[in-house]
Amino acid sequence: MADSMRHVPLRRTRILTTLIGSAATVVAALAIPGTAGAVTLGSTHIAQGSQAGIFCGGFPSCAFAQTSLPDGVTRAPFKGRIRSWKVNLQDPGSLQLLVLRKRDDGSFKAVEGSSPRTTDVDEVNRFRANLPVRKGDLVGLNLLDEDIVIQVLNPRNARSKGFMPAFDVGGAQEPYGPFNSTFDELQFNATLKR
C-alpha cells in the first residue's frame, strides 16, 4: 500500500505541471501582437503627458498620418476591421479617422473614413468604428477645423506625414512638406481586429 501512495502524488504533480505549462503557453500566445487577432495601429502612449500639439496652422482643414514609430505599429499587419479609435486632444473640435493607402507614386489615398466626430473634450477621446483595412494600410486623421489640436510626443524618432487640405474619402493627395515631421509621435491610435 505504501508503494501505491507514493505514486499518486507524483502523478498529480505531473498532471498539475502539464496543466500549468499549457495555460502558460496560451497566455504567451495571447500576448504576441496579431496572434490574438487584435493590434494597435499608432501610439501606445495616448494618455502620456504631451510636450506639444499639431494643428492646421491657420488652414481650414488638414490631415495627418503616423508613418513610423520607435515602439509601435503603423501599418496593418493583417486584413481586418478597425473597431475603435482614440485621440488625445489639446483643443477639441471636429475630426475623422481615415484608412490610408500609400500609392506607388508617393501619394496617399483615403480608402475609408469614419463618420466625422465633434467633441468638446480636451483629453483622451474614444470612438467606435467599423472600417475595413487591408494589410499594409495606415491610419490617419482629418482635422476638420482650424482650431483642433492633437497632442504629440517629441522628440520620439517617429515620422508623420501632413496633408492639406483634409482628405475626401476616395481622394488621393501628396504629403504637404511643411507639415511632415521626423520626430513627432501623434497621440492617436486605432484598434484593428481580424
26 and 97 together in one domain: no
86 and 143 together in one domain: yes
143 and 173 together in one domain: yes
60 and 119 together in one domain: yes
The parent domain of residue 106 ranges over 38-193
For residue 13, the model assigns a pLDDT of 44
| 190 half-sphere exposure, CB direction, 13 A CA radius | 29
25 and 108 together in one domain: no
Number of domains the chain contains: 2
Question: Which SS3 state, helix, strand or coil, does residue 60 take?
Answer: coil
86 and 170 together in one domain: yes
Any residues with CB less than 8 A from the CB of 150 and at least 6 apart, and which? 53, 54, 55, 64, 87, 88, 89, 90, 141, 143, 186, 187, 188
CATH number, domain with residue 140:
2.60.120
Radius of gyration of the chain measured on its C-alpha atoms: 22
Apex 118 CA angle, 144 and 97, nearest 5 = 60
Q: Is the pTM of this model over 0.75?
A: yes
61 and 152 together in one domain: yes
Series of mean pLDDT values for 10-residue runs along the chain (194 residues): 44 45 42 67 94 92 97 97 97 97 97 97 95 98 95 91 98 97 96 97
18 and 46 together in one domain: no
22 and 71 together in one domain: no
CA distance 15 to 42: 42
137 and 51 together in one domain: yes
